[in-house]
Amino acid sequence: MERIAWHPAFVEAIQLELEEYRDFLEFMAEYQLTSEPLQMDVLIVKKISNIKISKNIGQIFQKYNVIEYKSPEDYASVSDYNKTQSYSRLYASQTGTDTNDMSVTIVVTKRPRKLLKYLSVRFIVTKEKSAGYLLCRG
């Protein structure tokens, strides 16, 4: 069975629709997001969903846990947060996983001041004294 290439037709149609704004818009069909394949640093899947993990980082785990690790010389930025969230959403869409069954963690040595400011506008951010990391709850 022959596959119909719908994307090029759609791109042509949207360009025609927005023809009068062509000087102000740039159209990029099937834009490649990365030069390398996308990959998460760590994905941890709990084999038994309701098991409680007492280790600090494991206390926040859901069934599926996406972890982004930043080296001691690196820092966590808003872009890193958005990228890690995107990985979790892409994983959920590919596997049919409910995003409510997921946690997203960024492990970083340096205090991410700009990221914390960004998150504190959108979420309740608390410092867990025993863990040495921050939890964001929406």
* Residue 120, domain member (yes or no): yes
Is position 122 within any domain? yes
Q: Is residue 29 part of a domain?
A: no
Is 70 within a domain?
yes
What does the pLDDT read at residue 129? 65
Query: How confident is the model at residue 43, as a pLDDT?
Result: 96
| Residue 9 falls inside a structural domain | no
| 13 C-beta neighbours (distance < 10 Å), count | 10
Please write the tens of the pLDDT for every residue from 85-127: 999 999 999 999 999 999 998 988 888 889 989 988 888 887 7
**Position 4 pLDDT exceeds 90:** no
**Residue 90 belongs to what domain range?**
35-137
pLDDT in tens, 21-78: 999 999 888 888 888 888 999 999 999 988 988 888 888 889 999 999 999 999 999 9
The count of C-alpha atoms lying within 13 angstroms of the C-alpha of 127, restricted to the half-sphere facing its C-beta, is: 5
Pairwise CA distance, residues 35 & 107, whole Å: 24
The pLDDT assigned to 7 comes to 84
In a domain, 2, yes or no: no
Structure tokens at 11: 């791109």
Structure tokens at 134: 């921050």
pLDDT at 126: 78
Contacts with 60 (C-beta within 8 Å, 6 or more apart), sequence order: 103, 105, 135
Q: Is the pLDDT of residue 134 over 70?
A: no
In a domain, 56, yes or no: yes
**Residue 104 contacts residue 92 (beta carbons within 8 Å):** no
Query: Which pLDDT does position 132 carry in this prediction?
Result: 59
